[in-house]
Amino acid sequence: MDPLLPPAFLLAYFLVFFVLAFAWRSLLVWRRTGVNPVVLPGGDDAHAYVGRAFKVVMAACGVVAAAPVFCADAPRWLGAWEALAAVPVAACGWLLLLAALAWVVVAQAQMGAAWRIGIDSARPTALVQHGLFARSRNPIFLALRVELLGFFLVLPGAATAALLVAGEILMQVQVRLEEQHLAALHGADYADYCARVRRWL
């Protein structure tokens, strides 16, 4: 259990994150461009597989965050690691969670109409290189990595550790798929961008 805040705060955080980072941003891009920014194919290639796995991980995050709110015995079946359940650890986790949310919102705003969930092979998008993208080629995925780490620190246990590892693997694969797409789309401009800006930081 989170020793710092009531369990409902963690669930509220994920609900706010989903609304701001996915639902609201998707609606905003769709209304401005007429293009659905959610591009998750239903085939059997690597992109489709990673997309489906991401959905499972995100849904699992919601379930794990909600469990302590509705079930007093949740820490036991989530495999809670009581040795890490300390106020300083949880405080660090909350700082990471809030920083990740702010980072994602800013990075998405800087992407503007180019923002997508997935790889949009049908509609070329601009190569965003300003703002946070001048520091990291993947600031949104970087923030998601930080978010999963923060989630683990707030609610340390086997479940959140598994989500941290699964999310890390999926993001490492997805980033490389997107890099291949952007290299094919933008050619020399993307090669120059990669030479100037690191993948993460």
Domains of the chain: 7-196 (1.20.120.1630)
- Angstrom CA distances, 103 to 38, 86, 131, 142, stand at 20, 26, 11, 9
- Whole-number percent of the chain with pLDDT over 90: 88
The CB-based long-range contact list for 50-53 (8 Å cut-off, 24+ gap) reads 50/170, 50/173, 50/174, 50/177, 51/118, 53/166, 53/170
Q: How confident is the model at residue 105 (pLDDT cuts 50, 70, 90)?
A: very high
Residue 37, Cβ neighbours under 10 Å: how many? 24
Give DSSP secondary structure letters for 182-195.
HHHHHTHHHHHHHH
Averaged pLDDT, 65-93: 94
pLDDT value for 63: 96
pLDDT value for 41: 80
Averaged pLDDT, 178-198: 97
Q: What is the pTM of this model?
A: 0.94
Helix (H) or strand (E) holding 105: helix 87-111
- Asked if residues 13 and 19 have their Cβ atoms less than 8 Å apart, the reply is no
Q: How far apart are CA 163 and CA 169, in angstroms?
A: 10
